[in-house]
Amino acid sequence: MQRDIQTNYSVQASDGLTRFKKKKRVLLWVMIGIGLYTIITVYLISGFRILFPGQETQVIVSTPDQEGASSQFYLIKFDKTKIKLSGQEVWGNPYDDYMDYFNSDSEEAVIYDIKRKNKYLVSYGDEMTEKIIPNDKRNEVYLADDGIIVQYQGKRMFDVSARGETYKIKIKNVSKGITVIQSHVDNREGAVLQKNETE
């Protein structure tokens, strides 16, 4: 009789231990799921994208229809893979790679004109001058058929203003490897720019 009680007790104890392990396992999976959901949500909100070879993503540009309005496209690349940017006929990039035309002392910019198939160095001073410069594929940014190829590592800003228009910039991984990028567009209203210029 005592042996039956001990056997019964050990069966109940092992059942309780098994139930505890199952609850623990379920709780662990719930915590992993919540963690993954949080990471994916933060990833999507912050503009980070993982692009596989041939994969593309898009960002929307919507320059306000005001005098002095502009749009800047920021692209952060974490490696030197080739990314193709398209959807814009003219791309502007400050020559000295400052992140913002309006906060830099730069009086020069590189203009990538997709329509005319030329790359220009534009100087702003007493008068504006344009000089055609070579489109070398060894450069960090160069012209392609219907866009530009970027193969730098770091952060760059491109002027993508088209006043009063809304359009999409396509970002395509044209390399053989997986890449991670972060991108966003700042659409600035004209009144804000005029205020900054007079200060």
pTM of the model: 0.68
Adjacent-strand bridge partners of 121: 110, 131
Phi, psi (degrees; rounded to nearest 5) at 130: -120, 135
Phi, psi (degrees; rounded to nearest 5) at 91: -115, 135
Q: pLDDT of the chain along its 199 residues, tens only?
A: 555 555 555 555 566 667 777 888 888 899 999 988 877 776 666 678 889 999 999 988 888 888 777 888 899 999 999 999 999 888 888 654 433 443 445 578 888 898 889 888 888 777 778 888 888 898 899 998 889 999 999 999 888 877 778 889 999 999 999 999 998 888 877 654 432 232 2
150 neighbors 91 (Cβ within 8 angstroms): no
Which three-class secondary structure state does DSSP give residue 174?
coil
> Domain residues of the chain, as ranges?
1-46, 48-188
Amino acid 149: pLDDT: 94
Question: Which class would CATH give 48-188?
Answer: mainly beta
Q: What is the DSSP string of 16-55?
A: HHHHHHHHHHHHHHHHHHHHHHHHHHHHHHTTEEEE-TT-
